[in-house]
Amino acid sequence: MEFEKMQKIWDQQNERTVYAFDEEQLFNKVVKKQSSISKMVGCFEWTAILTFIGLAGFSFIEGINKAEYYQLPLSLLFIGLAVYMFRDRHQRLALLNSDTKTVKASVEHAITTLSYQIRRQKNIKWWFFIPLSLVAIYQNYFAETPMLWKTLLALTLMAGLYWLTQREIRCKFLPKRKELESIRELID
Partner 1 sequence: MEIAGESAIKMQENQRRMLFKQWLTEHKGLLFKVARSFSREPSDHDDLLQEISIQLWNAMPGFRGEAKVSTWIYKVALFAAITWSRKETKHTSTTQSLDDADVFLTSSEASKNDSLNWLYAQIRQLNEIDRSLTLLMLDGYSYEEMSQILGISQSNVGVKISRVKLKLASLSEEK
User: Are the C-beta atoms of residues 60 and 75 closer than 8 Å to each other?
Assistant: yes
* List 50, 103, 143, 159, residue binding partner 1 (CB under 8 A): 103
User: How many residues of this chain interact with partner 1, rule: CB under 8 A?
Assistant: 46
* List 1, 67, 148, 164, residue binding partner 1 (CB under 8 A): 1
Which of positions 21-50 make contact with partner 1 (CB under 8 A)? 21-23, 25-27, 29-31, 33-35
Q: Report the C-alpha gap between 45 and 58 in whole angstroms.
A: 20
Q: Is 15 among the residues that bind partner 1 (CB under 8 A)?
A: no
Q: Is 90 among the residues that bind partner 1 (CB under 8 A)?
A: no
Q: Is 115 among the residues that bind partner 1 (CB under 8 A)?
A: no
Amino acid, res. 49: I
Q: Which segment (49-57, 66-74, 117-125, 175-183) binds partner 1 by CB under 8 A?
A: 175-183
* List 15, 67, 99, 145, residue binding partner 1 (CB under 8 A): 99
* List 17, 126, 145, 148, residue binding partner 1 (CB under 8 A): 17
Q: What are phi and psi of 123, to 5 degrees?
A: -90, 5
Least distance CB 164 / partner 1 (angstroms): 21
Q: Which CB, 74 or 107, lies closer to partner 1?
A: 107
Nearest residue to 81 (alpha-carbon basis) of 40, 103, 50: 50
Q: Report the C-alpha gap between 103 and 130 in whole angstroms.
A: 40
As a dihedral over the C-alpha atoms of residue 86, residue 87, residue 90, residue 95, rounded to 10 degrees, the angle is -140
C-alpha Rg value of the chain to the nearest Å: 25
Q: Report the C-alpha gap between 81 and 76 in whole angstroms.
A: 9
User: Are the C-beta atoms of residues 91 and 117 closer than 8 Å to each other?
Assistant: no
Q: Is 65 among the residues that bind partner 1 (CB under 8 A)?
A: no
Positions in the binding site for partner 1 (CB under 8 A): 1-3, 6-7, 9-10, 12-14, 17-23, 25-27, 29-31, 33-35, 96-107, 110, 179-180, 182-183, 186-188
